[in-house]
Amino acid sequence: MRATGPGIRKAAAVVLTFGLSAALAACGSDDGGGDGGDHKAAPKLSVSGAYVSQPPLDDMAAGYLTVRNAGGGADKLTSVTTPLASEVTLHTTEGTRMKQVSSLDVPADGRVQLTSGGDHLMLTNLTHRPKVGEKVSFTLHFATSDPIEIKVPVEPTTYRPKD
Ligand SMILES: [Cu+2]
């Protein structure tokens, strides 16, 4: 398909402009006019409760975790990488159907919780079948914050975290 014609070019420009202003907003660079160095609106992330369910099948596994944001600026979880899988996708659940999304919001002064039956990480093309007791390394990538690397335990398929 050819991306020519003024209509398409205009649409691309709109997307570009939107992306740019969203990035600026995420940086919290409200002018304010005063002296710089004010990072009040920056996100401040921490990750807890991460685990991988030991998969019933060899070719895919699910990962769960909570990202807390103690900062005044929102962020987004944009991707996850791990030596366990060549592909990790972000999924939400609508009713009984899973839907792939390009990012998950981590609201300012809030959190995003990935739980069984809700939002989750889908690991496909596994390099090996993870076993209970094993620890897997995950690197979480965000729109604004630096990547966070964590060690994630493999739990039994029936495991459910306590709140
Ligand atoms: Cu899924």
Say how many C-beta atoms besides its own lie within 10 A of residue 61's C-beta: 25
Say how many C-beta atoms besides its own lie within 10 A of residue 162's C-beta: 4
Domain ranges of the chain: 45-155
| The CATH number of domain 45-155, selected from 2.60.120.10, 3.10.20.740, 2.60.40.1890, 2.40.50.100 | 2.60.40.1890
Residues with CB under 5 A from ligand 1 (ion): 91, 98, 122
Distance 125 CA to ligand 1 centre (A): 14
Distance 18 CA to ligand 1 centre (A): 29
Distance 93 CA to ligand 1 centre (A): 8
141 Cβ contact list (under 8 Å, min separation 6):
77, 78, 79, 80, 81, 147
Maximal C-alpha separation, the chain: 57
pLDDT tens per residue across all 163 residues of the chain: 454 545 555 544 444 444 444 444 444 344 433 444 445 589 999 999 999 999 887 789 999 999 999 999 999 999 999 999 999 999 999 998 999 999 999 999 999 999 999 999 999 999 999 999 999 999 999 999 999 999 999 999 999 988 6
